[in-house]
Structure 1
Amino acid sequence: MLPVTFSGHGHGQALNAPDDLPKNVTWILNQGSSLMSMDFHASQQTFLLVGTDMGDVGLWEVGSRERLVLRNFKVLDLSSCLMLLQAALVKDPGVAVDREIGSPDGALFGVAYPRHIVQIYSYHGGDDVRKHLEVWDATTGAKQYTFEGHDAPVYSVCPHYKENIRFILSTALDGKIKAWMSDNLGSRVDYDAPGRWCTTMAYSADDGTRLFSCGTSKDGESYIVEWNESEGAVERTYQGFRKRSFGVVQFNTTTHRFLAAGDDFSIKFWDMDNIQLLTTADADGGLPASPRIRLNKDGTLLAASANENGIKVLANQMECGCCERLRIIFLMMGLIDDNYSDRLLPDCL
Structure 2
Amino acid sequence: MPLQAALVKDPAVSVNRVIWSPDGSLFGVAYSRHIVQIYSYHGGDEVRQHLEIDAHVGGVNDLAFSHPNKQLCVVTCGDDKTIKVWEATNGTKQYTFEGHEASVYSVCPHYKENIQFIFSTAIDGKIKAWLYDNMGSRVDYEAPGRWCTTMAYSADGTRLFSCGTSKDGESFIVEWNESEGAVKRTYQGFRKRSLGVVQFDTTKNRYLAAGDDFSIKFWDMDNVQPLTSVDADGGLPASPRIRFNKDGSLLAVSANDNGIKILANSDGMRLLRTLENLSYDASRTSEAPKPTINPISAAAAAAVATSAGLADRSASVVAIAGMVCGTDFSFFFPFLSLIMEMLGAWGM
Shorter-chain TM-score category? 0.5 to 0.7
After superposition, residues 193-212 of structure 1 pair within 5 angstroms as 193-205=143-155, 207-212=156-161
- Does the 8 A contact of 1:157 with 1:169 survive in 2? yes
CA contact (8 A) 2:211 2:242 kept: yes
Pick closer, same or farther for the CA change 1:137–1:276 going to 2, 3 Å.
same
Cα distance in structure 2, aligned partners of 1:105 and 1:255: 19
Q: How does 1:285-304 map to 2 (within 5 A)?
A: 285-304=234-253
Deviation at 1:212, TM superposition (A): 0.3
Within a 5 Å distance, the mapping from 1:64-103 to structure 2 comes to 74-75=1-2, 92=10, 95-103=13-21
Q: Is the aligned partner of 1:155 residue 2:105?
A: yes
1:183 Cα deviation from its structure 2 partner: 1.2
Q: Give the equivalent residue in structure 1 for 2:26.
A: 108
Q: Is 1:315 aligned with 2:264?
A: yes
Moved over 6 A (4+): 88-91, 322-328
Task: Give distance in 1, aligned partners of 2:31 and 2:147.
Answer: 21
**Gaps (5+ residues) in structure 1?**
1-73, 79-85, 329-334, 336-340
Shift in alpha-carbon separation, 1:344–1:190, aligned structure 2, 3 A: same
Shift, 1:344, TM fit: 3.6
- Look up the SS of the partner of 2:87 in the other structure: coil
SS of residue matched to 1:318:
helix
Residue 93 and residue 220 in structure 1: after superposition, are their counterparts in 2 closer, same or farther (change >3 A)?
closer
Q: TM-score, normalised by structure 2?
A: 0.68
TM-score w.r.t. structure 1 length?
0.68
8 Å CA contact 2:276, 2:291 repeated in 1:
no
How many residue pairs get aligned? The number is 255
Aligned to 2:121: 171
Question: Which residue of 276, 280, 284 corresponds with 2:233?
Answer: 284
1:137 matched to which residue of 2?
A: 87
Residues 231-278 of structure 1: per-residue CA shift (max 9 Å, x gap): 000000000000110110000000241000000110000000110101
- Equivalent AA in structure 1 for residue 34 of structure 2: H
Contact 1:256 1:299 in 2 (8 A): no
CA contact (8 A) 1:246 1:289 kept: yes
Q: Is contact 1:215–1:224 with CA below 8 Å preserved after alignment?
A: yes
SS of the counterpart of 1:146? strand
Structure 2: which 5+ runs fail to align? 54-85, 278-283, 296-325, 327-348
Report deviation, 1:308.
Answer: 1.7
Identity score, percent? 75
User: CA, structure 1 residues 140+247, in 2 after alignment: closer, same or farther (shift >3 Å)?
Assistant: same
Q: What is the CA distance between 1:318 and its match in structure 2?
A: 3.2
Give CA deviations for 1:77-102 in whole Å, capped at 9, x if unaligned.
x9xxxxxxx9x789648731111111
